[in-house]
Amino acid sequence: MTALTALALNCTLKPSPADSSTDLLLSQVMTELGTHDVTGTTVRVVDFDVRPGVETDMGDGDEWPKIRELVLAADIVVIGTPIWMGHMSSIAQRVLERLDAELSETDEQGRPILFDKVAAVAVVGNEDGAHHATAELYQGLVDVGFTVAAQAATYWNGEAMQTVDYRELDETPEAVANATEILARTSAHLARALRAQPYPAAD
């Protein structure tokens, strides 16, 4: 069996090279996935001109098709998002909107094109919102054909209304590291299981 691959989509609002807490958490996820023989790539979505719309290619310089190719090539897709106003970022919602187009794409067996791929979630914010962002992402990703492993989310946020960022912490809290470890372990296992036994097509 060829090695599994993971794609992390960083949905921060800040273009490179600005520091990103989401980037830090995603790098920890990718490191953990590495211990399960998953090799990965991380893309900062805001660095690309991803047009609003719900087609696979909105034309006219739209750079989503570059990211879409990476999505289609990956076994595991990890969406990393900051929290703004208690919600996932506008970039994360933009990614879901663009993935919506895949609902009409099928493979040679007539199955949705994203079947057998596993999705996981990483959320960071100063305070409050990770469970909700996770809920929105799971639902959107499962709707278009991803599968979600047990406890496939890791997150950090501080106390209510505080302002320290994840990347400013002296060390990674043990509970976060533990959640990241579980996400990687279950998602890698599930992707491998689906590689070995893909979903059947409709009769």
Site for a copy of itself, residues 16 to 35, rule: CB under 8 A: none
Number of residues that bind a copy of itself (CB under 8 A): 73
Are the C-beta atoms of 76 and 37 separated by less than 8 Å?
no
Contacting residue, 19, 73, 162, 167, with a copy of itself by CB under 8 A: 162
Q: 99, 106, 115, 107: which is closest to 194 by C-alpha?
A: 115
Show the binding pattern over residues 47-86: x = contacts a copy of itself (CB under 8 A), - = does not: -----xxx-----------------------------xxx
Binding segment for a copy of itself (CB under 8 A), chosen from 1-9, 26-34, 65-73, 134-142, is 134-142
Measured from the CB atom, is 66 or 131 closer to a copy of itself? 131
Binding segment for a copy of itself (CB under 8 A), chosen from 26-34, 62-70, 71-79, 177-185, is 177-185
Distance of closest approach, residue 29 Cβ to a copy of itself, in angstroms: 15
Are the C-beta atoms of 124 and 14 separated by less than 8 Å?
no
CA distances from 125 to 5, 86, 137, 156, 175 (A): 27, 9, 16, 7, 16
Q: Rounded to 5 degrees, what angle do the CA atoms 8, 11, 16 make?
A: 90
Per DSSP, 13 falls in state S
Contacting residue, 13, 43, 70, 72, with a copy of itself by CB under 8 A: 13
Using DSSP, state whether 43 is helix, strand or coil: strand
How far is Cα 123 from Cα 140, in angstroms, rounded to an integer? Answer: 15
Per DSSP, 198 falls in state P
87 scored as a contact of a copy of itself (CB under 8 A) = yes
Distance of closest approach, residue 160 Cβ to a copy of itself, in angstroms: 5
